Amino acid sequence: MRDILIRPPLRLELIWRENEVWRIYLGWSGEAGEGESVRESPFAKVAEEFFLAYLRGEGPVPRHLPLAWHRVQGFGNKVLTTLYNRVGPGEWISYSRLAELSGSPGSARAVGRVMSGNPWPLLIPCHRVLRRDRSLGGFSSGLETKRYLLRLEGIDPPRA
């Protein structure tokens, strides 16, 4: 089952398995053939409330959406959990600092790999992870999307 929430300029697609968010796809709305939002899960209303509040700049923490945490093991789980619990709206953290807080100093590149494979972008805010010099690094939904999300939260990273 899936929920597709379209609120220009963004589109959020949540893939559900056994009443847990299995995967999220985040992108720009307005793609060819895109129609109305689709709400199939029992959590669609909660997801939509989070998404709308986020776009209004309220940045609530989505604690009421059950994520399939069991699919991320070991180091990846530790990094995503640390990010989820420690970095709130309007804040950013470097890859190297996140590695330190996750108990693996010197593992900034490994943190970058975890971020690139984050199954729940926006809910687990990997867009808030930047290079130490505040440049963007990467983002699975594209650098323009990352820049947009950061600006929405009041963070103005350099363009380069």
Q: Which residues are catalytic?
A: 126
Facing residues of 6 across strands?
A: 11
E strands, 1-160, are 2-7, 10-17, 20-28, 38-39, 93-94, 129-130
Give the separation between CA 66 and CA 117, rounded to whole angstroms: 18
What is residue 114's DSSP assignment? H
Q: Residue 18: name the closest of 70, 96, 95 by CA.
A: 70
Helix, strand or coil, per DSSP, at residue 131: coil
What is residue 67's DSSP assignment? B
